[in-house]
Amino acid sequence: VVSVTAVDTSVVRIDGWPDEVVGNGHEVPVYGGGSIPYAYLDNAASTPPLRAVVRAVNDFLPWYSSVHRGAGYKSRVSTAAYEEARERARDFVNAPDSHVVVFIKNTTEGINRLAALAEERGATVFVSIMEHHANLLPWRRLTRQVVYFGADEFGAVDEDDLRRKLSDHPTGPKIVAVAGAYNVSGYAPPLDRLARLCHEHGAEILVDAAQLAPHRPIDMSGRPGEEIDYLIFSGHKVYAPFGSGVMVAPRSALSSVSPALVGGGIVDLVTLDEVVWNGLPDREEAGTPNVVGAVALGAALIRLQELRRDGLLDQESALTDYLVKGLLSVPNLQLLGPRAAVDRVGVASFVIDGVPHGLVAAVLSYEHGIGIRTGCFCAHPGVLHLLQLPIAEADEGRSRMRRHDHVGLPGAARASLGVQNTRAEVDRLVRALKELVGSGPRASYRIDPSTGDYSPSNWEEALPLGL
Ligand SMILES: Cc1ncc(COP(=O)(O)O)c(C=O)c1O
């Protein structure tokens, strides 16, 4: 059971901004014939581009040129746009001057880079069992010492366990890598308290902000003792799906190790036996950078900040409460994640007794034109922990996964909100789930054993190719 904070929707806007994103309300075909406006409730996976982003990209493209190394006028325009986007990102997370903002591809790349850096510095890394694989596997592959800290049965960080484990490692560099918001439960841990805990134990804190950046203001500078040392997020989760992301790290840490990637654009001198790296951030951006992606990201951050000034944060929490209440009204539905009054972003994962999660997603998609996510959301240990499966059932699930058997795997369905979503879309979701629980699917479904995906047995998919 989840306790839900009451939001007074007579004063707080509850519907989002449907016209802010491109493609909202596109009609999609549904089982039984005809088409209906698509309800996109999978924003935790990736967000559609904001109109402001598309406008900024279109305005910029005629000026596109190489950055930094070109001498022409357009190169100077492009360089200025690229560097302005960097400043936007710095401002968005309130990064201190001691930190460098580096453009990367996505959160996964950023954490891999920081894992290599942690290893070069001989750090012990502490991660929660609830992390996305992007904040789990890089540490396991690239650093020698990984320590797991626990979570309660609803996925909330076990701060006592973290404190104990940090105390057990009194010496040497330490990094605690934690999500700013979790992609399965939506739980947003108390970063200020965690940062203080880390710093009191001589550890640095790294925040995987992939799910935090779209939903909450970020203040890396924090109160004394509560600063965030490293932070990473992806453009495609903040309405700028143009292949760029951001990594913010202390200048001192990045300059103490060799660059993660080597090649063009990052040196002051190369001889056949000598290389002198140039300054930061350039030396962390080897090769030709994704200037268009950076411009898109900068535009998205500006627009998000404007929307936040217009009440986006209150609106999101109102619609999140509405979503949670709606889901809890569905018979036999169990919501995963914290049940106490904790901070939750617009992400809600659930299971329905007796209905496979893949079938839930398929019915929503094929019969109701609603896009959600299903499975383990790239967080296998976390999802298995939240599902609280009997040991034998969890073991059986893992052995199926080992065999690449995709049928009947443990998992959940997840609905997640973006700036464009409205009550009407949440209502559609809840109505569809109630119909599914009450009278079963309208179609009969087959399962593809190679993927585990369900589709109606007599369905011919006609995707618009060649767009
Ligand atoms: C919490 C969290 N961390 C990291 C990632 C990885 O982000 P990306 O796929 O953009 O690298 C995701 C993506 O879903 C996520 O939700």
Which of 47, 103, 107, 112 for a ligand 1 pocket mutation test, highest count of atoms within 8 Å of Cβ?
A: 107
Average pLDDT over residues 313-341: 89
User: 248 with 101: CB under 8 angstroms?
Assistant: yes
Q: Per-residue pLDDT for 131 more than 90? A: yes
How remote is the CA of residue 250 from the centroid of ligand 1, in Å? 22
Q: Per-residue pLDDT for 113 more than 60? A: yes
DSSP of 9-62: TTTS--S--GGGBTTTT-EEE-TTSSEEE-EE-BTTT--PPBHHHHHHHHHHGG
Q: Per-residue pLDDT for 308 more than 60? A: yes
Q: Per-residue pLDDT for 339 more than 80? A: no
Which of 113, 208, 344, 345 for a ligand 1 pocket mutation test, highest count of atoms within 8 Å of Cβ?
A: 208
Cα angle, residue 458 at apex, residues 456 and 463 outer, rounded to 5°: 75
Give residue 375's pLDDT: 92
Q: Per-residue pLDDT for 70 more than 80? A: no
Task: Please confirm whether the linkage preceding 281 is cis (ω < 30° from 0).
Answer: yes
Closest CA relative to residue 212, chosen from 187, 243, 236: 187
206 Cβ contact list (under 8 Å, min separation 6) = 111, 114, 175, 176, 177, 178, 228, 229, 230, 231, 232
How remote is the CA of residue 64 from the centroid of ligand 1, in Å? 29
Of the chain, the end-to-end C-alpha distance in Å amounts to: 44
Give residue 12's pLDDT: 83
Give residue 4's pLDDT: 47
Give residue 297's pLDDT: 98
Q: Which atom of ligand 1 is nearest to the CA of 378?
A: 14
Q: Which residues are catalytic?
A: 378
Average pLDDT value for the chain:
94
Q: Per-residue pLDDT for 408 more than 90? A: no
Higher pLDDT, 303 or 4: 303
Give residue 355's pLDDT: 97
Sheet with 333-335: strands ordered across: 333-335, 347-352, 412-416, 373-375
How remote is the CA of residue 237 from the centroid of ligand 1, in Å? 8
pTM of the model: 0.96
CA 11 to chain centre: 30
Q: Per-residue pLDDT for 317 more than 70? A: yes
Average pLDDT over residues 299-313: 97
**Atom 15 of ligand 1, nearest CA residue:** 210
Q: Is 69 helix (H, G, I), strand (E, B) or coil?
A: coil
**Atom 7 of ligand 1, nearest CA residue:** 107
Instruction: Read off the tokens for 464.
Output: 């618009």
Higher pLDDT, 430 or 5: 430
Cα angle, residue 304 at apex, residues 302 and 310 outer, rounded to 5°: 110
Q: Which atom of ligand 1 is nearest to the CA of 237?
A: 10
Average pLDDT over residues 255-278: 92
Give residue 2's pLDDT: 39
Average pLDDT over residues 239-261: 95
Q: What is the rounded distance in angstroms from the CA atom of residue 459 to the CA atom of residue 352?
A: 24
Q: Is 349 helix (H, G, I), strand (E, B) or coil?
A: strand
* Helix (H) and strand (E) counts in the chain: 13, 19
The mean-pLDDT minimum among 73-77, 146-150, 292-296, 400-404 falls in: 400-404
Average pLDDT over residues 219-247: 98
Q: What is the rounded distance in angstroms from the CA atom of residue 330 to the CA atom of residue 325?
A: 9
Q: Which atom of ligand 1 is nearest to the CA of 236?
A: 10
Average pLDDT over residues 381-388: 93
Give residue 63's pLDDT: 97
**Atom 14 of ligand 1, nearest CA residue:** 45
Dihedrals φ, ψ of 36, to 5°? -140, 160
The mean-pLDDT minimum among 88-102, 165-179, 333-347, 398-412 falls in: 333-347
How remote is the CA of residue 437 from the centroid of ligand 1, in Å? 31
What whole-number percentage of the chain has pLDDT above 70?
97
How remote is the CA of residue 280 from the centroid of ligand 1, in Å? 25
The Cβ of residue 401 has, within 10 Å, a number of other Cβ atoms equal to 14
Ligand 1 is surrounded, with C-beta below 6 A, by 106-108, 132, 134-135, 179, 183, 208, 210-211, 234, 236
Q: Per-residue pLDDT for 268 more than 60? A: yes
Which of 244, 344, 378 for a ligand 1 pocket mutation test, highest count of atoms within 8 Å of Cβ?
A: 378
Residue 352 banded pLDDT, cuts 50, 70, 90: very high
Q: Per-residue pLDDT for 262 more than 60? A: yes
Q: Per-residue pLDDT for 283 more than 90? A: yes
Q: What is the rounded distance in angstroms from the CA atom of residue 33 to the CA atom of residue 2?
A: 37
Q: What is the rounded distance in angstroms from the CA atom of residue 164 to the CA atom of residue 195?
A: 15
Residue 153 banded pLDDT, cuts 50, 70, 90: confident
Q: Which atom of ligand 1 is nearest to the CA of 180?
A: 1
